[in-house]
A = this chain, B = another copy of it.
């Protein structure tokens, strides 16, 4: 469960993406309790302050809610989660296509390269089954 952190980007952001991933994949569902700040800190091996910041940011985006003395929970608002998933996808697709086009790749090339990469991923994935 250790995460490979990219030292060039804020750890709290990468940790956010990690939790958002879990929520978007429905590993963490509406209302579920997140592990405590300390637990997470130990588990992923970062400073508790950093985890705390992660939780604060997610709360600011209304994806989680912290209840004093009880812990931090995924929002009950399923609509919110669906939106998170959609926004996330759109943001990444948009950024991806923008940068690819800016680098002179056309639609055909982009689709082809993605297909190719997906085949590689699928092959690698199967080996681990």
Chain B residues with CB under 8 A of A93? 96, 100, 113-114, 117
* Proximity string of chain A (60-92) to chain B, C-beta cutoff 8 Å, 1 when within and 0 when not: 100001111000000000000000010011101
Kindly report which residue of chain B lies nearest to residue A59, judged by CB atoms. Answer: B7
Can you name 29 A-B pairs with beta carbons within 8 Å?
A: A7-B65, A7-B66, A7-B68, A21-B99, A21-B103, A21-B104, A24-B102, A24-B103, A24-B104, A25-B102, A25-B103, A26-B104, A85-B103, A85-B104, A88-B103, A90-B113, A90-B117, A92-B99, A92-B103, A93-B113, A93-B114, A94-B117, A97-B114, A97-B117, A101-B121, A107-B118, A110-B114, A110-B118, A111-B111
Q: How far is the CA of A68 from the CA of B65 in the complex (A)?
A: 28
Could you say which interface size class chain A belongs to?
Answer: 35 or more
Chain B residues with CB under 8 A of A97? 114, 117-118, 121
Q: Within 8 Å of chain B (Cβ to Cβ): is A43?
A: no
Q: How far is the CA of A96 from the CA of B85 in the complex (A)?
A: 15
